[in-house]
Structure 1
């Protein structure tokens, strides 16, 4: 996919409100990092009270995944999770607007040698991640030291789409944005020895999914990771990230490639991935995206786990 380019049509009055909002956001994120963290927590507090639907989804997910915790502990985790989501709003703007040197001061990266080794050998990499609230800032920080391609879905607003892609791709001078449904393009990119950020931890429906346990619950689990690794002749390299306490920044960990992957069956591969996802989420549950209806798709005959959404 070509790099995003500015169009004169973006100056049309219908986009002026968005331009104004982006200008205000740019000004806001010039504040010190510690102030942005506090503002983010405040935004999270507001979201917790106003975003009723997302709050109830997150609360239900915590109830399903952490039955061993009492209600008080889960509510505390819910509040911290929304605080993390509020901070993520400002982290996204930091990734789009901060100068490279200012971002780089927050990065603590371990395991970069695993990506560098694959690059030297011309080996494609599936950078297997999960949907932590820090995913935007994590991709920006890693993109400063190693090119990462990514799966992409165009936004309906063409100006926002332009700003979003420009903000993300400025850290990767030769990065490629691949349409989410462009399987052929993804496989070609992997065979060309590039690294693609990919997260297999969400519910994409019953098509091309199998049911396997995640947090003890049968979850629709995509089989694409195994297929991409096999057909793209790529290594699967797990990648985790977390926001450090205080103003210490972010720890990015690139783990060693999975051995003997893909294995003998898609079921074994998917179970292995789910077990890894559960492990890394348990290590940092307050920073995970719990507002996603992860267990929406149910095996035949099973009752839904979430209340019916109001329209």
Structure 2
């Protein structure tokens, strides 16, 4: 049964992948002409539909918020989760506008810029700038602004749907950004950009590959965090700032914020530096907690799992669930049932 379902799923995925990619590309093109306010009006009701069709997003968001804000009662966390999913939906709808829309219209949607002096001062001193860009607000708007004002380099990994690669790549590069691969050549390119006193962007809240991170507290719980930052700082004397593009009330536009990073990021010891990175992300989230992408499994890995200690499966923060809206969910469900029957 399991092999049959897996083969059927793979066959269906091969047929549906081009259709999915073309549908997304067409949607972005159609939405690119709408205003940010109109997109926000669309995002609110659409987010409710997404929650119904994909309960996993709602469950993970609420679980993460429970860890980050234990002082909030259940009702307050439910409201915050609903707002967060609406903002995440708005970000997805806005991508077409940022990548394909009129450049002047996108530029005019950025109504405020705070903390630009942190970047200007560093470059005046001949230092490069590392911008920590967490998944907050609309990070593509931040990329648009940065690449419009500074020589800017960021890592780029092609999407799963090849049809979307030219749209995303051209959208991110159209204001002058330089995209480099997520490998050793890309890291070398980041170092060269910093030594030229340019700006680079790093995603501080994505789970790195095995051996490329350490566990450091994020909202009081160990989260597997990348160690690329201390290596770059140690070799370039760069200044580190946190950058976000906050969505203004009712989708009226965006406010860019640059915040001085926590001093811990400059520590040579990797765990201490990673703690500084996570503290910097927490400070950015405090601007508007609902605008952070809480549906990402930030605590997916545990120290016990990484060390394969007994009981590491029970130590998982995210319990295994089965979504019956997908073939993969059904396949996992039957596999679990068979294992349980053998044990019984």
Report the TM-score range of the alignment, normalised by the length of the smaller protein: 0.7 to 0.9
**Aligned equivalent of 1:185:** 189
CA distance in 1, matches of 2:263, 2:137: 28
Secondary structure at the residue paired with 1:297?
coil
Q: CA deviation at 1:34?
A: 2.0
**Aligned equivalent of 1:79:** 82
Secondary structure at the residue paired with 2:246?
strand
Q: 1:37 to 1:206 in 2, by over 3 A?
A: same
**Aligned equivalent of 1:137:** 141
**Preserved contact between residue 218 and residue 278 of structure 2 (Cα < 8 Å):** yes
Write 1 or 2 for the structure with the bigger share of helix.
Answer: 2
**Aligned equivalent of 1:49:** 52
Query: CA deviation digits over 1:143-167, x for unaligned, max 9?
Result: 3333321111012433311111011
CA distance in 2, matches of 1:46, 1:88: 16
Q: CA deviation at 1:124?
A: 1.9
Secondary structure at the residue paired with 2:135?
coil
**Aligned equivalent of 2:342:** none
Query: CA deviation digits over 1:177-209, x for unaligned, max 9?
Result: 011223223222222322111122232255232
- Confirm whether residue 304 of structure 1 aligns to residue 311 of structure 2: no
Tell me the matched-pair count. Answer: 296
CA distance in 2, matches of 1:55, 1:231: 41
- Greater C-alpha Rg: 2
Is there any run of 5+ residues in structure 1 with no aligned partner, and where? 1-13
Secondary structure at the residue paired with 1:283?
coil
**Map 1:1-40 → 2, pairs under 5 A:** 18=21, 22-40=25-43
**Aligned equivalent of 1:8:** none
Secondary structure at the residue paired with 1:144?
helix
CA distance in 1, matches of 2:119, 2:318: 39
Give the TM-score normalised by structure 2.
0.78
RMSD: 2.5
CA distance in 1, matches of 2:281, 2:143: 18
**Map 1:159-308 → 2, pairs under 5 A:** 159-172=163-176, 175-182=177-184, 183-256=187-260, 262-300=266-304, 301=309, 302=312, 303-308=315-320
Give the TM-score normalised by structure 1.
0.85
CA distance in 2, matches of 1:277, 1:22: 31
Query: CA deviation digits over 1:12-52, x for unaligned, max 9?
Result: xx968855753453233323332221012222121111112
Q: 1:304 to 1:24 in 2, by over 3 A?
A: closer
Q: 1:248 to 1:306 in 2, by over 3 A?
A: same
Larger mean CA deviation between 287-296 and 58-67 belongs to: 58-67
Q: CA deviation at 1:70?
A: 1.2
Is there any run of 5+ residues in structure 2 with no aligned partner, and where? 1-16, 323-327, 329-344
